[in-house]
Structure 1
Amino acid sequence: MTGSTAVHRALEYVDEERVAVADRGTAFETFERRVRTISAVRPGLARPQQTTTATATTVATVNQVQETTPATPTGRCVTVREAFAETVRPHSIADRETDESLVETIAAELTEDIAVALATNVGWTPALKSAVLEAVSTRRREVEWLQELLRRERSTFETAIEEIDEIVDWLQATADESLLQCDFDALQAKHERLEAYRDRLETSIERRQAQFTESTNRYGPGGARYRSVVESIYSNRPVRYPLLSTATRLYGVCGGCQRTVRSQLTRRV
């Protein structure tokens, strides 16, 4: 049983999630870096044409440049969308079962207002650039927060695995022993050890349940519950609550063994 319980497998899931979150963080970092290199233009202004002599341009010429030149505010919106599609989007839709348009993904990650502004080519203005960078900054903070939560989740499972392995190893080591050949003191020692194991497992279960009720403070005091965040990691796994499931099962096994030992003890009195 050691190494093959739901808790052991859950540790692998947590590690997979940590890699995915780290990759997502890198994607946002890359996207932010590319966005910062795209200069914004204030409304009503256009980038001057690159000529060897200073020439006056008409409003019509400016409008034409804005519509056809990638370096114009309009073209820069396209560049931002392309940067998003190449960096963030693959990680955003990785676990999606249905198709999602680029605009929908941008809306989900950066807000609807930003998605609409980029899709309708209103112009790559300082205000829009600032909004995009602010939204990215929020997402990067969420990534950092999630990485910390996953580190805590891994630590929780490491502690639980150490305890579970100890109990399982002892049960396996004593499984072939004949209780009939044990004297009263040996039986009593077994009974007390099983009782101690049950107490520890009960404490572990209570500690996990209390952890589920804690706030993650994702959005400040009163934020999302730890349970709602952690459940998403195991929602598509065979066991939704691996630690509680394994600890409860092991608690029952210890209880059954303890009753068997107790039955032998009563016969020796």
Structure 2
Amino acid sequence: MPIETHIDSALTRVEREQTHFDAERRAYERFQSEVASLSPQPATATSASPSAAGGALSVAGGSQHDAATTDADRVRELFTETVRPHSVADLDTEEPVLETIREELGDSLAFVLAPETDADVTPQVQNAICSKAQQRLQEITAMSSALNRETESLQAAARDCQSVTKWVEDHNQTSLLGLGFSELQQRHEQLSAHRERCEERLLARQETIHSTTSRDAQVGLEHRSLLTFLYQEFPVSYPILSTVTRLDALLADCQRSVRDHLTQRV
């Protein structure tokens, strides 16, 4: 009897997310590179804007905004071309560009980059943008590493489940009534071995669930939180645990039937 599994669907889901984060990483790399290539002028007149870290960013006002296109305009354009499409991909409603900048880069930089602020990009602001982009790249890289770990776990579970279910299907074609005592003993031992394999897979999966993916000792991503994000719309929260547990239950039923036949042959 085939076992219902959500592992293939989970693999498809992880692959889709990996594709998304790979594209977002490339977008941030381009955004960071383009911002770093700007040549902003030091501020001549400054005002303080609150930063996410509790300090202040100096912003230039006045003369630079006489130009047709300022560095702040260029940064907004770059952000819109590169990062924004990936940030709003899952939104059902339209989000203003500055709101997306606020979500991705923080309140302080969103304030500096707002057209109505009458400010432009100084070297300090440029460095802050590049630093925030680098932080986001580290977070994306940690997520990609965690997705790779999830893919490996899913693939290993899929191989085990396919192997065991094929064995069950092949051996179910032979009636237990047609087996001798030694053959029944062998069948019982084989089922025990398959159940041990399931137990090992469950233990390995638990280890993965409780793991944390770190990147450069700066970004730590708990795997359990990743699973909540990935499988929130799935009928089961833990595709591997659910599938392997049902498979083990099937093997236990088969083993119980073999044991009943062995008892009758004594």
Alignment TM class, shorter chain as reference = 0.7 to 0.9
Structure 2: gaps spanning 5 or more residues = 46-60
The answer to whether structure 1 residue 229 and structure 2 residue 239 are counterparts is no
Code of the residue aligned with 1:11 in structure 2: it is: L
Q: What is the rounded CA distance, in whole Å, between the counterparts of 1:4 and 1:121 in structure 2?
A: 60
Q: What is the rounded CA distance, in whole Å, between the counterparts of 2:64 and 2:77 in structure 1?
A: 18
Contact 1:2 1:165 in 2 (8 A): no
Query: Partner of 2:244: helix, strand, or coil?
Result: helix
Code of the residue aligned with 1:70 in structure 2: it is: A
1:83 to 78, 86, 89: 78
Query: Partner of 1:216: helix, strand, or coil?
Result: strand
TM-score (norm 2): 0.85
**Post-superposition shift, 1:132?**
0.3
TM-score (norm 1): 0.84
**Partner residue of 1:162?**
159
CA RMSD of aligned residues (A): 2.4
Q: What is the rounded CA distance, in whole Å, between the counterparts of 2:234 and 2:18 in structure 1?
A: 16
**Partner residue of 1:34?**
34
**Post-superposition shift, 1:220?**
4.1
Code of the residue aligned with 1:145 in structure 2: it is: A
2:142 to 141, 145, 164: 145
Per-residue Cα deviation, 1:76-120 (whole angstroms, up to 9, x for no partner): 212211110111011011122344322221122111111111112
**Partner residue of 1:50?**
none
**Post-superposition shift, 1:223?**
3.7
**Pairing of 1:51-90 with structure 2 (within 5 A):** 63=62, 66-71=64-69, 75-90=70-85
1:102 to 97, 102, 109: 97
Q: What is the rounded CA distance, in whole Å, between the counterparts of 1:151 and 1:224 in structure 2?
A: 13
Rg larger in 1 or in 2?
A: 1
The answer to whether structure 1 residue 185 and structure 2 residue 157 are counterparts is no
The answer to whether structure 1 residue 194 and structure 2 residue 204 are counterparts is no
Q: When the two structures are aligned, how many residues end up with a matched partner?
A: 249
More strand, by proportion:
2
**Partner residue of 2:172?**
175
The answer to whether structure 1 residue 123 and structure 2 residue 120 are counterparts is yes
Q: What is the rounded CA distance, in whole Å, between the counterparts of 1:96 and 1:216 in structure 2?
A: 27
Question: Percent identity of the aligned residues?
Answer: 35
**Partner residue of 1:20?**
20
Structure 1: gaps spanning 5 or more residues = 46-61
Code of the residue aligned with 2:95 in structure 1: it is: E
